[in-house]
C-alpha cells in the first residue's frame, strides 16, 4: 500500500462515517486528533470487513487477521508494512497500545470462528470488551485522558455503545446468521430456537431486548459518572457519543422490538440539538 493508498484508508473511513452519528462527535475535534480517530476507525473497518463480508472460507479470513497481527508486530518494531502506514503517526503521536489493536482483532476472530448465536452473558461481555471497549482504550489516548479514568470510561461507554448497536441491528445480524442477544435472557423469555430469524420473529423478543437495554443504560450511567468528575482530556467527544447513542437507545425502546420492527435513526434536527447541548456547550 503506497502512502497515497494509506491516506485513502483514512479518507474512506471519513466517508463511511460521514453518514453516521459517530461523525458528529469527530467533527468537534482538532484536525490531528480527528485524523487519528479516523485512522483507528479505518483499522476497525478493515478488520471488521474481513469478519463480515463473507468472502473466502473461515480459514482464509482467519489467515487475513493473522496477517494483520504480523503487520502490527512490524509496525511496533519500527518497520511498518505499507498497508499499515496510516497508523504510524497516530501510534507515535498518541502512544496507542498494540495490545488494544490486537484485542480488536480477537473480537473479529470471534465472528470468523463461528457465527455468534445467543452467547451466554460472559461471552457477550467478552465480545463487547474486544470489539468496543478496546477501541475506547485507543480513543482515550487521542482524547488526552489519563489511563485510570480513561480506561474506566472505555470499559463502560464501549459496552453501552456496542449493546445499543446490537439492539438496533438485530434484523441485519439475523440476516447473516447471527444473534448477539444473551442466551440467559432468551431462555428466561421462553425463546429456545437457535435460528436467529426464528428467534427475533417471536414477539417475546421485546422483553429480551428491554433487559439488554437496561444493561446498556447501566453502562451509560457509569460512563457519565466518570465524565461528571471532569477528568483531564478532551471529554466533550465521548460525552457527545454517549448522548447520541443514548438517545438512539431511548428512541429504539419507544418503538420496541416486537416484529415488524423499524430501525431508528436520529433526525438532523435532533442530532443538531444533541450536538449543541452536549458537544459545543456540554
Query: Would you call 179 helix, strand, or coil by DSSP?
Result: strand
Residues 150 and 243 both lie in one domain: yes
- In order of 68, 155, 251, the CA distances from 244 in angstroms are 32, 18, 11
Residues 96 and 139 both lie in one domain: no
Beta bridge partners, 179, equal 117
Distance CA 44, CA 70 (A): 16
Residues 71 and 102 both lie in one domain: yes
Range of the domain at 208: 115-282
What's the mean pLDDT in 84-95? 96
Residues 18 and 66 both lie in one domain: yes
The predicted model scores a pTM of 0.92
What's the mean pLDDT in 123-134? 98
Residues 173 and 43 both lie in one domain: no
Average pLDDT, the chain: 91
Residues 133 and 258 both lie in one domain: yes
- Say which range, 1-5, 71-75, 184-188, has the weakest mean pLDDT: 1-5
CATH of the domain at 5: 1.10.600.10
DSSP 88-119: HHHHHHHT--HHHHHHHHHHHHHHHHS--BS-
pLDDT at residue 7, as a whole number: 58
Domains in the chain: how many in total?
A: 2
Residues 273 and 179 both lie in one domain: yes
Residue 229 has pLDDT above 90, yes or no: yes
Residues 167 and 280 both lie in one domain: yes
Residues 57 and 166 both lie in one domain: no
Residues 271 and 155 both lie in one domain: yes
Nine cell digits for residue 44: 476497525
pLDDT at residue 1, as a whole number: 43
What is the tens place of the pLDDT at every residue in 10-42?
666 566 655 565 666 677 788 899 999 999 999
Amino acid at each position: 500500500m503506497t502512502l497515497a493508498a494509506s491516506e485513502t484508508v483514512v479518507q474512506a473511513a471519513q466517508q463511511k462515517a460521514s453518514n453516521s452519528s459517530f461523525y458528529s462527535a469527530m467533527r468537534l475535534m482538532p484536525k490531528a486528533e480527528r485524523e487519528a480517530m479516523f485512522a483507528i476507525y479505518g483499522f476497525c473497518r478493515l478488520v471488521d470487513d474481513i469478519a463480515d463480508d463473507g468472502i473466502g472460507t473461515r480459514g482464509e479470513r482467519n489467515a487475513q487477521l493473522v496477517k494483520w497481527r504480523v503487520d502490527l508486530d512490524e509496525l511496533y518494531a519500527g518497520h511498518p508494512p505499507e498497508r499499515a502506514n496510516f497508523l504510524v503517526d497516530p501510534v507515535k503521536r498518541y502512544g496507542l497500545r498494540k495490545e488494544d489493536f490486537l484485542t480488536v482483532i480477537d473480537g473479529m476472530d470471534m465472528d470468523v470462528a463461528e457465527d455468534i448465536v445467543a452467547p451466554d452473558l460472559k461471552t457477550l461481555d467478552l465480545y463487547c470488551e474486544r470489539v468496543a471497549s478496546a477501541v475506547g482504550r485507543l480513543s482515550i489516548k487521542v482524547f488526552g485522558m489519563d489511563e485510570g479514568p480513561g480506561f474506566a470510561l472505555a470499559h463502560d461507554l464501549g459496552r453501552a455503545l456496542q449493546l445499543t448497536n446490537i439492539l438496533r441491528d438485530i434484523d441485519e445480524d439475523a440476516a447473516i446468521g447471527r444473534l448477539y442477544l444473551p442466551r440467559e435472557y432468551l431462555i428466561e423469555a421462553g425463546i429456545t430456537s437457535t435460528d436467529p430469524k426464528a428467534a427475533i420473529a417471536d414477539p417475546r423478543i421485546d422483553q429480551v431486548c428491554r433487559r439488554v437495554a437496561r444493561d446498556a443504560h447501566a453502562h451509560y450511567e457509569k460512563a457519565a459518572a466518570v465524565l461528571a468528575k471532569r477528568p483531564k482530556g478532551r471529554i466533550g467527544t465521548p460525552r457527545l457519543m454517549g448522548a447520541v447513542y443514548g438517545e438512539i437507545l431511548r428512541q429504539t425502546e419507544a418503538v420496541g422490538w416486537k416484529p415488524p420492527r423499524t430501525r431508528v435513526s436520529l433526525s438532523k434536527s435532533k442530532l443538531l440539538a444533541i450536538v449543541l447541548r452536549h458537544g459545543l456547550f456540554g
